[in-house]
A and B are shown apart, each in its own frame.
Chain A
Amino acid sequence: MHLQTLPWIILFLPLLAAVVITLFTQRDRKTSATLSISAIVIGFVLTVIFIKANSFNPEVKEVSLNWLDIGPLQAEFGLRLDALSLMMLLVVTGVGSAIHIYSWGYMHEDRCFSRFFASLSLFTFSMLGIVMANNFLQMFISWELVGVSSYLLIGFWYEKASAADAAKKAFITNRLGDFGFMLGILIVWAALGSLNFGKLEAGLADNPAALGSLATLGGLLVFCGAMGKSAQFPLHVWLPDAMEGPTPVSALIHAATMVAAGVYMLSRTFFIYTPEALQVIAWIGGCTALLAALVAVQQNDIKRILAYSTLSQLGYMVMAVGLAAPEAGMFHLTTHAFFKALLFLGAGSVIHAMHHEQDIWRMGGLCKKMPVTYWTFMVGTMALAGVWPLSGFFSKDAILAAAWHHSMPLFIIGVGVAALTTFYMFRLVFVAFLGGERSHEVGHAHESPWVMTWPLRILAVFSIVGGVIGVEALFGGMLHPGGEHPHGLAAQLVYPFKHAPVAALSGLAAFGIGLFAAWTLYARAKEDPLPARIGTLSRWMRDRFYFDELYEATVIKVHDATAAVVDWFDRWLIGFAAVRGSAGATSLFGNVLRFIQSGSLQAYAFLLVLGVAVILFFVLGR
């Protein structure tokens, strides 16, 4: 088979699966799941084959077709395959496969099993579309499709009002960012006359001033798209609510892939951002990381803790891009995909065993009941907290090193967030897995079936080794050519300590502090000791700094009020002009209306046509 056709197959297989499931196999649960799972697993295998044959740097990087062709205006539909997209392809299909398989076990008893897999496949297709897009328009299209498939998945249990609400909120918040994204694309398109990433990059390299005075604005508008998808402050409010979806969805969409799309897009379009734009991006990322980490400290729902943790880590990645180190952002994205998917699936396994109980204060002592889940969860936690030599250490260190070189305040925020991360994750582990049983459900809990535990084991392996398998060198080579990048296992293991020792040691110190604090406070806690110690701050953290309430009171109120005023005004105008109240109407239409009220309308219509004819002939015959 010709190798250039492989990417098309990888892209369209999941779509095919989604269509076939929707149209034909709704009733046949097994076939539906098999179709969906094989579509993504085959995609993963084909990706590996493609990379084996072409390496990460194929000779032919793009394949494309003409999609829109109206005179001089053309838009193509094409795929771009370089190190960035191929690595991302591996992550999406690889982690996606694990999650698809896990879903078989997790969703087994659901009435709408087939619909679940159809939506999952639709999502995979859209996500692959973002990853392989070679131009802005196609990326935007896939971007919106990701939005809608995530809408379908978050609102999967649509009978639950909260799920339907969360789905709507996610879609609309994302759309808000998307319109910024669209305007940004239009600015770039109008100024440079192309949508193709390669051509844009070349055009800007030839003439860096091509975007003119709009350069910063255009870049920031494009960034708006990433703010929506990657849930950056102030558009972050949808992500925690999105946990209403089934847990595999949270793992796939809201940890490993969809939310990473924003960071991926920033790296893909890194060349359009001016230093001023990057400054803004870095600070938004830093603020998101800090705020979300603070909130995570006082959440009690296991999925919400992970959701805020995701927000916080996404903040790190965005900050890395803003610090002109997109390769560090992508590196963290990759390792994060492994350990956060692992953590979510672990949480799903716990929730499954606890019969949909999600409050960590009602768990406790699960380490003995669910050893595989416990140990893999522990690996994920340590990777997230940045324990050397697990994957999270290296990627987080790359970001801290970038901050160390560029911006002291952001470096301090970064280290602080690292300490908070360790603290809230070990709080979760100590309360949920160690100690005594906190409710009688724990007594009935037992380990999940193998379809659920094997994905955990595989992801755990990658969470351990993900930092030293050459991911950084790969991204670094592409996004920052000319920089020094470690090769070889030993070199990679010690690289952080040589390259930026302060950053590496601060990261480890942050881990130590976080772990110590969590141990003192939570190792033997019956209830959360923090509210008593820090009072108001704890309440603010628990209530997510009141962002939802703030939006409710401002944006949504203004919107509702505008709608009401417009509606009232319209009804009033109608009432004024309506034929019901003849006085007002007469003043508007005068004599014309008197006809209607006196005679029959048929006569009126006839008279009017007649009148028209008479006037016409009178005037023309003059």
Chain B
Amino acid sequence: MNGFPWLTVLTLVPLIGGVLVVGMGGQKQLARKLTLGLSLLSLGIALLIWKNFDAASGDLQFSERLDWVKSLGIQYHLGIDGLGLLMLLLTAIVTPLSLMAFWHNHDRSHIFGALVLWLQAGLFGTFTALNFFHWFIFWELGLIPAFFLVKFWGGPNRGPAATQFFVYTMVGSIGLLLAFLALRLATGSFDFIELAAMAKRGEISVKLGDALGWKSLSYSTLALLVFGLAFLGFAVKVPVIPFHTWLPVAYSEAPSPVTMLLTGVMSKMGVYGFLRILLPIFPEQVRLVLTPLLWLAVLTIVLSACAAFAQRDLKRMLAYSSINHLGYCLLAMFAAAGAATMVNQPELQKAAALNGVLLQMFNHGLTASVLFLFVTLLEKRSGGLRGLDDFGGIRKVVPVFTGLMGISLFSSLGLPGLNGFVGEFLVFKGAFPLAPWTTAVATIGLLVTAVFLLTLIQRVFCGPLNEKWAKLPDLTASELWLVIPSTVLMFVVGIYPQLVLGVIDATVVKLVQQLNF
């Protein structure tokens, strides 16, 4: 199994598939089916990789390594561990959902399909690359189709929204690029694994200082500066407040199927970057600024929840809620990066926190995209209306819709038995002993989340029926087929979280060792 370049194939399928789909411009129906078929093929390959993945080992698997530009030390280096695998699976699950959500829209559907496939290729590439050079290409490759998807199919303000989204992320990317050029100059390597090994030996800041020694900057300040540049790149992507202002606009203006991809998978690129790149390569720097980072995470959690409560547009509300949920990942990640000298069994707490982070990434990807899927279905019925006060009492006419969307909403607010709970609980379990004050304040976020999600249920579904919607149709059979598998998955992960935890645990153990020095 390990001889065959599975990861390359996985990335190439949507990449080439996108070209094919564009080429079939004339036969839109066929193009559409081909697109979906290709995304299902990717899902199949991803499941195959999962099946052959050795969960007991935290090492990188399915590795591929080729010299690309030998003189520059650029290697084509791929590999996945539990974290990578989880992200591949998530991407493979959300993409077909998004395509199906767009199924009844005939506006340049073949271009739409191709862009989604390219986006998927970018994501697969990002989650498997281990060398900065092509990792960065894929990182950017994901951005470009996303930009056009927002720009061409978005709402009334799609133009500015797309531009802002693009520029913001680009500024972050430039920071990342500069940081890695500095690292390359100092260490001669672009390889994440090699860099992390150097960081563990404490060589990075010395080398940076030697190579780039600039005026009177001390070595540690310089290293902190480089860290800051890289941090910016990921902070915009997650996003961390106050780098988040592009997000509500982009999420609400993007067509909902695209929002599913943006929130479901693209937001995970940032968290993934933190885990794979930032924490392992800059552990000393993270510790230096740990307290501000932790409070930044708390700020992200609490402010985004409060902002979500103030929204009157369902998509904007869910957009802020998305920031909030990823805030828990930030909190646990930073807490686990600390030295934790005063804590009982620090390794156990860190492992719990990081397991929580990974699980939360998967859960949020699933739940948030399904929620936006429901918004798509609602918009389809209401002719584009999606305000909190536009509905009222529709539970009476669309009970099945209400029940299923209610399940997703309760999953989002962390109800036990559904997927959201275990991740959040592990996050708090791990983070609380490691950073008690920040974690205690962060519970405010959980409470406010409950407040605005219940407000959503109450305003939209409960109360007297708004007569305007007396004839609202309930979910059709094909829509049920779209929604039920993901709902079942929510229950499965909620009741048997070991399904996901079993895959990631060995990886987490390794990550904890990496962070201990």
A residues within 8 Å of B by Cβ?
67-73, 137, 140-142, 144-145, 148, 155, 158-159, 161, 164-165, 168, 171-172, 175-176, 179, 182-183, 186-187, 189-191, 193, 559-560, 562-564, 566-567, 570, 573-574, 577-580, 589, 592-593, 596, 601, 605, 608-609, 612, 615-616, 619-621
Q: Which residue of A lies closest to B506 (CB)?
A: A71
B415 at the interface (CB under 8 A from A): yes
What is the distance, in angstroms, from B397's C-beta to the closest C-beta of chain A? 11
Q: Which of B231-252 contact A (CB under 8 A)?
A: 242, 245, 248-249
Secondary structure type dominating chain B contacts: helix
What is the distance, in angstroms, from A415's C-beta to the closest C-beta of chain B? 38
**Can you spell out 30 A-B residue pairs with CB atoms less than 8 angstroms apart?**
A68-B498, A71-B505, A72-B345, A158-B461, A158-B462, A159-B464, A172-B451, A175-B450, A179-B443, A183-B443, A189-B429, A190-B343, A190-B344, A191-B344, A562-B306, A573-B242, A577-B245, A579-B159, A579-B164, A580-B160, A589-B167, A592-B171, A596-B167, A601-B151, A601-B162, A601-B166, A605-B147, A612-B136, A612-B177, A620-B184
What is the distance, in angstroms, from A150's C-beta to the closest C-beta of chain B? 13
B417 x A145 contact (CB < 8 A): yes
Q: Which of B401-429 contact A (CB under 8 A)?
A: 410, 415-417, 421-422, 425, 428-429
Contacts of A189 in B (CB 8 A): 429
What is the distance, in angstroms, from A126's C-beta to the closest C-beta of chain B? 9
Contacts of B428 in A (CB 8 A): 182-183, 186
What is the distance, in angstroms, from A8's C-beta to the closest C-beta of chain B? 15
Contacts of A616 in B (CB 8 A): 133, 177, 181
Question: In the docked arrangement, what's the CA distance between A164 and B455, Å?
Answer: 10
Contacts of B349 in A (CB 8 A): 190
Known: A164-B462, A171-B454, A580-B160. 20 other contacts (CB 8 A): A67-B498, A70-B351, A71-B509, A72-B345, A72-B347, A73-B351, A73-B352, A141-B416, A159-B393, A172-B451, A179-B446, A182-B443, A183-B443, A190-B344, A566-B306, A567-B306, A573-B242, A574-B248, A579-B164, A616-B177
B225 at the interface (CB under 8 A from A): no
A69 x B352 contact (CB < 8 A): no
Question: In the docked arrangement, what's the CA distance between A162 and B506, Å?
Answer: 50
B309 x A563 contact (CB < 8 A): yes
- B245 partner, pick from A161, A175, A573, beta carbons under 8 A: A573
Assuming A68-B498, A70-B355, is B140 touching A609 (CB within 8 A)? yes
Assuming A69-B498, A605-B144, is B242 touching A183 (CB within 8 A)? no
Question: In the docked arrangement, what's the CA distance between A165 and B352, Å?
Answer: 37
**Which of A161, A567, A570, A609 has the most chain B CB atoms closer than 10 A to its own CB?**
A570
What is the distance, in angstroms, from B337's C-beta to the closest C-beta of chain A? 18
Assuming A68-B497, A70-B501, A596-B163, is B433 touching A190 (CB within 8 A)? yes
Contacts of A164 in B (CB 8 A): 458, 462-463
Assuming A563-B306, A570-B248, is B455 touching A168 (CB within 8 A)? yes
**Which of A159, A165, A592, A615 has the most chain B CB atoms closer than 10 A to its own CB?**
A159
Contacts of B242 in A (CB 8 A): 573
Question: In the docked arrangement, what's the CA distance between A281 and B416, Å?
Answer: 28
What is the distance, in angstroms, from B415's C-beta to the closest C-beta of chain A? 6
B498 x A72 contact (CB < 8 A): no
Q: Which residue of B lies closest to A155 (CB)?
A: B462
Q: Which residue of B lies closest to A147 (CB)?
A: B415
Q: Which of B451-497 contact A (CB under 8 A)?
A: 451, 454-455, 457-458, 461-465, 497
In the A-B complex, list the 6 residue pairs whose CB atoms are closest, starting with the nearest.
Answer: A567-B310, A164-B462, A563-B310, A141-B416, A190-B433, A158-B462
What is the distance, in angstroms, from A207's C-beta to the closest C-beta of chain B? 14
Assuming A164-B458, A191-B344, A570-B248, is B184 touching A578 (CB within 8 A)? no
Question: In the docked arrangement, what's the CA distance between A579 and B433, Å?
Answer: 44
Contacts of A182 in B (CB 8 A): 425, 428, 443
What is the distance, in angstroms, from A118's C-beta to the closest C-beta of chain B? 11
B348 at the interface (CB under 8 A from A): yes
- A141 partner, pick from B167, B421, B464, B505, beta carbons under 8 A: B421
What is the distance, in angstroms, from A589's C-beta to the closest C-beta of chain B? 6
B396 at the interface (CB under 8 A from A): yes
**Which of A155, A164, A615 has the most chain B CB atoms closer than 10 A to its own CB?**
A164
B448 at the interface (CB under 8 A from A): yes
Q: Which residue of B lies closest to A144 (CB)?
A: B416
Q: Which residue of B lies closest to A556 (CB)?
A: B451
A559 x B140 contact (CB < 8 A): no
B440 at the interface (CB under 8 A from A): yes
A72 x B443 contact (CB < 8 A): no
What is the distance, in angstroms, from B242's C-beta to the closest C-beta of chain A? 7
Q: Which residue of A lies closest to B72 (CB)?
A: A620
Question: In the docked arrangement, what's the CA distance between A52 and B281, Å?
Answer: 64
Question: In the docked arrangement, what's the CA distance between A586 and B422, Å?
Answer: 45
Question: In the docked arrangement, what's the CA distance between A563 and B306, Å?
Answer: 4
Contacts of A566 in B (CB 8 A): 303, 306-307, 310
Contacts of A148 in B (CB 8 A): 410, 415
Contacts of A186 in B (CB 8 A): 428-429, 432-433
B447 at the interface (CB under 8 A from A): yes
Q: Which of B175-234 contact A (CB under 8 A)?
A: 177, 181, 184-185
Contacts of A171 in B (CB 8 A): 450, 454
Question: In the docked arrangement, what's the CA distance between A159 and B72, Å?
Answer: 68
What is the distance, in angstroms, from B22's C-beta to the closest C-beta of chain A? 15
- A159 partner, pick from B133, B396, B451, beta carbons under 8 A: B396
What is the distance, in angstroms, from A216's C-beta to the closest C-beta of chain B? 15
B249 x A574 contact (CB < 8 A): yes
B450 x A172 contact (CB < 8 A): yes
Contacts of B451 in A (CB 8 A): 172, 559
B265 at the interface (CB under 8 A from A): no
What is the distance, in angstroms, from A159's C-beta to the closest C-beta of chain B? 6
Contacts of B166 in A (CB 8 A): 601, 605
A570 x B181 contact (CB < 8 A): no
Q: Mark B278-316, 1 if CB is under 8 A from A, else 0.
A: 000000000000000000000000010011011100000
Q: Which residue of A lies closest to B465 (CB)?
A: A159
Assuming A70-B352, A164-B458, A573-B245, is B160 touching A578 (CB within 8 A)? yes
Q: Which residue of A lies closest to B349 (CB)?
A: A190
Contacts of B395 in A (CB 8 A): 158
What is the distance, in angstroms, from A292's C-beta to the closest C-beta of chain B? 25
Question: In the docked arrangement, what's the CA distance between A145 and B352, Å?
Answer: 23
A68 x B501 contact (CB < 8 A): yes
Contacts of B455 in A (CB 8 A): 168
What is the distance, in angstroms, from A153's C-beta to the closest C-beta of chain B? 14
Question: In the docked arrangement, what's the CA distance between A566 and B310, Å?
Answer: 8
B60 at the interface (CB under 8 A from A): no
A601 x B163 contact (CB < 8 A): yes
B310 x A564 contact (CB < 8 A): yes
Assuming A73-B352, A148-B415, A164-B463, is B171 touching A601 (CB within 8 A)? no
Contacts of A168 in B (CB 8 A): 454-455, 457-458
B160 x A579 contact (CB < 8 A): yes
Question: In the docked arrangement, what's the CA distance between A616 and B170, Å?
Answer: 16
Assuming A171-B454, A566-B307, A573-B242, is B348 touching A71 (CB within 8 A)? yes
Contacts of A605 in B (CB 8 A): 144, 147, 166
What is the distance, in angstroms, from B336's C-beta to the closest C-beta of chain A? 13
Contacts of A560 in B (CB 8 A): 309
Contacts of B160 in A (CB 8 A): 578-580
B121 at the interface (CB under 8 A from A): no
Contacts of A592 in B (CB 8 A): 167, 170-171
B508 at the interface (CB under 8 A from A): yes
Contacts of A580 in B (CB 8 A): 160
- B422 partner, pick from A68, A179, A579, A619, beta carbons under 8 A: A68
- A570 partner, pick from B245, B348, B458, beta carbons under 8 A: B245
Question: In the docked arrangement, what's the CA distance between A164 and B464, Å?
Answer: 10
Question: In the docked arrangement, what's the CA distance between A68 and B170, Å?
Answer: 41
**Which of A137, A563, A573, A615 has the most chain B CB atoms closer than 10 A to its own CB?**
A563
Q: Which residue of B lies closest to A592 (CB)?
A: B167
What is the distance, in angstroms, from B146's C-beta to the closest C-beta of chain A? 11
